[in-house]
Amino acid sequence: MALFSRRNHTAAPAADVAQSAVATPGVDPALAALTGDYVIDPSHSSIGFTVRHAMVTNVRGSFAEHEGTLHLDGRDPARSTASIDVKIASVSTGIADRDAHLRSGDFFDAEAFPLMTFRSTSAAHVGGDTYRISGDLTIKDVTRPLSIDLEFAGSATDVYGNERVGFEGSAEILRSDWGLTWNAALEAGGVMVSDKVKLTFDISAIKQA
């Protein structure tokens, strides 16, 4: 299935479909109609993480404040791009003391490094509705490559007339690669916080006029 082809609820305007079909023979008109610039809707999106704690359980958290843009190219999905900025101080795990520790110099040092950013460099079809977007993730002024597998969840026009697209995805990183090395040894062996972190993305984005 081609990128963005699972279209929900609404059809592209006839004029747009006709123009797309003429301009790019062989491309699914519904796919081509999704081409454009989008803004991530933070009130209906989430960027989260899961990390192993004390070797026995998982702690989950998220970043409440983030913004970003997408450019989707339905004619040539490899030309699609993404840019996301996450406010580190908005980290939340549900425990105030733990959140304060994460914002401190032991971890993110949110005062000195207020943003975590992702800038895409390429996109590729993996199979079915799954696509891989690769780029540069920057945390604490350390920039390293990251690939995120995303599943296209569909598109729809909401009750306010906004055309939306949705994506769900995840990636795994080693936090030490970005200088997040704080830890504490456990008496029985092992460490307090795992190096491996799972990042999760649930994105709703609105097409711009």
Instruction: Output the 3-class SS for the chain.
Output: CCCCCCCCCCCCCHHHHHHHHHHCCCCCHHHHHCCEEEEECHHHCEEEEEEEECCCEEEEEEECCEEEEEEECCCCHHHCEEEEEEEHHHEECCCHHHHHHHHCCCCCCCCCCCEEEEEEEEEEEEECCEEEEEEEEEECCEEEEEEEEEEEEEEEECCCCCEEEEEEEEEEEEHHHHCCCCCCECCCCCECEEEEEEEEEEEEEEECC
pLDDT digits (tens, 9 = 90+) for 54-92: 889 999 999 999 999 999 998 888 999 999 999 999 999
**pLDDT tens figures, 82-132:** 999 999 999 999 999 999 999 999 999 999 999 999 999 999 978 878 889
Q: How confident is the model at residue 15 (pLDDT cuts 50, 70, 90)?
A: very low
| Residue 58 CA: distances (Å) to CA of 2, 100, 102, 129 | 35, 18, 16, 29
Q: Rounded to two decimals, what is the model's pTM?
A: 0.85
Whole-number pLDDT of residue 147: 97
How confident is the model over 146-168, as pLDDT tens digits?
Answer: 999 999 999 999 999 999 999 99
**Whole-angstrom distance, CA of residue 76 vs CA of residue 49:** 31
The residue with greater pLDDT, 61 or 2, is 61
Contact 151, 6 (CB under 8 A): no
